[in-house]
Amino acid sequence: MEPVIARAVLLQEQAETRELQASVVAEEPLEIRINGDPYAVIMRTPGHETELAAGFCFTEGIVDSFAQICSIGFCPEAAAGMQNIVNVIVSRSCAGQGGPSEATARSPRAMVSRSSCGLCGVEMLADVEKKVAPLPGGLLIAGGELYRMLGRMIELQEIYASTRAAHAAGLFYLEGEPLAVREDVGRHNALDKAIGHGLMRGLDFSRCVAVLSSRISFEMVQKALRARIPVVAAVSAATSLAVDLAGRCGCTLVGRVREHSMVIYTHPERVIP
């Protein structure tokens, strides 16, 4: 399946109407199975499915390392190009840690919606803090590098360039080297794909910056913390719960990154002007 497909549309410009073929970002369901049992159905843009599944399992806490994934790949049901089912075989030692025992007991309909506030948000913060140790300090990055990382990610957003409808997430080493830029109709999927890429290749996340084309929400910070990524930078702003979580867990959030300005929400000591 291609990430970009063509659709016939009508273009209206002032008094003129004409038909043309428009590039549209593809959106397809992906079923993730854990040890053969259905776990979640994700609406995603086709491409990098194994990275998405690996990143999802890691950031959701099903596994704590790639070593706990015995194998990952498309199911036999995904024949004839219908690559919409990925099965992740997880070590049984993960049971009770968000692994197979929990996965088989939770249906896709039970997945929690995480746009949270109030008491629910307080409970989620406490839950994440129990599972994520605070990040260490000492790491520094030049503010100018963040501008360059964002510009480089934009250059690599091929799907967005043709459709204007895809989010992106990039992983960069502190020196500015792009390690992975992934696009998807879902911002969470884009970050999971990038993290999954790093997980499968043994990248040192503690030396990485996550760059986002979207706002910085609670779940995006949670995913970064699971990977031990110390700096998250984004084109858009951060939410209150994201700021609270990052502040407590030692993650530097930088939002509204533009050509000559940025907003540092938490732990500004890492960013050199």
pLDDT digits (tens, 9 = 90+) for 61-85: 999 999 999 999 998 765 554 579 9
Number of domains in the chain: 2
Percent of the chain having pLDDT more than 70? 85
Do 214 and 99 sit in the same domain of this protein? no
Query: What DSSP state is assigned to residue 228?
Result: T
Query: Does residue 166 fall inside a structural domain?
Result: yes
Query: Does residue 7 fall inside a structural domain?
Result: no
Better pLDDT: 135 or 116:
135
Spatial distance between the Cα atoms of 103 and 77, rounded to a whole number of angstroms? 20
Do 100 and 209 sit in the same domain of this protein? no
pLDDT digits (tens, 9 = 90+) for 14-44: 889 999 999 999 999 999 999 999 999 999 9
Do 105 and 180 sit in the same domain of this protein? no
Do 154 and 105 sit in the same domain of this protein? no
Do 73 and 164 sit in the same domain of this protein? no
pLDDT (0 to 100) of residue 109? 38
For CA atoms 88, 89, 94, 98, give the dihedral sign. Answer: positive
Active site residue 117: yes
Do 86 and 147 sit in the same domain of this protein? no
At residue 268, φ and ψ (nearest 5 deg) are: -70, -10
Do 109 and 158 sit in the same domain of this protein? no
Do 60 and 109 sit in the same domain of this protein? yes
Do 82 and 182 sit in the same domain of this protein? no
Query: Does residue 238 fall inside a structural domain?
Result: yes
Print the domain residue range for 86.
Answer: 28-113
Catalytic residue among 75, 117, 208, 249: 117
- Are 162 and 4 in contact by the 8 Å Cβ rule? The answer is yes
Global model pTM greater than 0.85: yes
Spatial distance between the Cα atoms of 172 and 153, rounded to a whole number of angstroms? 9
- Are 183 and 160 in contact by the 8 Å Cβ rule? The answer is yes
Do 173 and 99 sit in the same domain of this protein? no
Spatial distance between the Cα atoms of 126 and 169, rounded to a whole number of angstroms? 26
Do 172 and 247 sit in the same domain of this protein? yes
For CA atoms 116, 197, 2, 39, give the dihedral sign. Answer: negative
Residue 94 Cα distances to 22, 58, 160, 254, angstroms: 46, 12, 37, 34
pLDDT (0 to 100) of residue 130? 66
pLDDT digits (tens, 9 = 90+) for 202-260: 999 999 999 999 999 999 999 999 999 999 999 999 999 999 999 999 999 999 999 88
- The answer to whether residue 98 scores a pLDDT higher than 80 is no
Query: Does residue 121 fall inside a structural domain?
Result: no
